[in-house]
Amino acid sequence: MPRIAIFDLSASASEVNFTDQDLDESELGGNITWLEPLDHYGRLDFYSLYLEADSRLKLEDVPAATSWSHVPAETPQSGYTHIAIYAASQLAEQTTPATLLIEDTVARASNLSFLDLDLDLGHLGGNLSWLEPADMSQVTHYAVYFAEALSDNETACVVLGHVAALVTGSFSLDLDATEAQVEEAARLALATSLDVDPGQIQVTVTATVLRRLEDEVNPTRRLAATHWEVSYLAVVAVELASDVVEVVAAVNADQSAFTERMKTELVHQGVDPGAVKQVTVASFSTAAVEVVATTTTTTSSSSTTSTSTSTSSTSSTSSTSTSSSTTTSSSSTSSSTTTTESPPLLAPAPARPPPAAQAPVAQPPQAQAPPALRPPPRRVLHYQLQHQHI
């Protein structure tokens, strides 16, 4: 009778390690690492990672020849007690995984104390102090906030210390083009001229139809001329504001170079070159600069977290000091933006069905280098708090 020897292959991860770097209770974040089996004869295709207790929650699949996986911050622990790593072949996952008991790192400052030594109404000044958490192993720094209690279970916090300069100005031109073409061309021409990231410039255009012009390429055709008033707002670092103002002053004195940049960008936006040849930029104003304090506001409750950015004016170079409390987007423009953010909720994986013979398995993503490690812990026990409500 023919016989064949059975070779039972055993290949499993080992020495699983995970250090939770998310300092909130019942939330996880950090790198999972493990050792690969010494020899799997090319039959190990990937690893399946789960959070497990009585049920399990799939984290991800990672390819063979990989020995780490990243758990995003604010991943809810949801009562799971172990990390489980299953080695998998083309046939199925192994039945018995390598596991690790989860240790949730919790680090919270306590006993906050602040004595206001600024005697003016609406002004604060003095030292804020606190006790360090008992577990400092993953603490790298502290973030200090102003906070407002909205309700028993909801608090709005404001990050201190962000300052930016808003540079505003305007110019005009006559051209037969669409609003989108003029707006985008102006934004890109200003970005090049002022040496500012285009994403930090907001442009607003208004149009007035004036008259009909003769097309130089085809004199028999008449073009409708539209007068465009272009206003812009650029968000720049305070230390760069003076440089931007100097450039604006130079353009105000001689608009020819900026006009040529506008013509180039208008052609790139699809405006008829014959019409662009007649364009002349006019009334390029001097810049007005306003220094604003921008603060990131985080509202937390038992169910949702939302973030927005507020700006309050502290000074203006063109007139007397002004004040505002307008909620704006992170680019400090005049629009209002509020976004809701929460960690993705992963539904528990269903019970595993019996393995199907020779079932092909999709190849997992290619291995990537693990995220950079955090810097060594830095302890801060006192914070000099200064705030002026305008």
Domain that holds residue 28: 7-106+350-373
3-state secondary structure of 51: strand
- Average pLDDT over every residue of 226-239: 90
Higher pLDDT, 162 or 87: 87
Q: Name the least confident of 3-17, 59-73, 368-382.
A: 368-382
The reply to whether 341 falls in a domain is no
Say whether both 271 and 180 belong to one domain.
yes
- Average pLDDT over every residue of 255-263: 93
- Please state the length of the chain: 390
Q: What is the pLDDT of residue 346?
A: 34
The reply to whether 171 falls in a domain is yes
Q: What is the pLDDT of residue 93?
A: 93
Q: What is the pLDDT of residue 240?
A: 87
The reply to whether 294 falls in a domain is no
CATH of the domain at 84: 2.60.40.10
pTM comes to 0.46
Nearest Cα neighbor of 110 from 134, 94, 126, 87 is 134
The reply to whether 344 falls in a domain is no
Q: What is the pLDDT of residue 113?
A: 93
The reply to whether 211 falls in a domain is yes
Quickly state the pLDDT bin for 6 (edges 50, 70, 90): confident
- CA 90 vs CA 9, 84, 362, 367: distances in Å: 14, 19, 9, 18
Nearest Cα neighbor of 13 from 129, 98, 110 is 98
What digits encode the pLDDT tens for the residues 266-285?
A: 999 999 998 899 899 999 99
Residue 68, pLDDT above cutoff 80: yes
The reply to whether 147 falls in a domain is no
H helix intervals, 138-255: 179-194, 241-253
Q: What is the pLDDT of residue 297?
A: 55
- Average pLDDT over every residue of 64-77: 94
Number of compact structural domains in the chain: 2
What digits encode the pLDDT tens for the residues 75-90?
A: 999 999 999 999 999 9
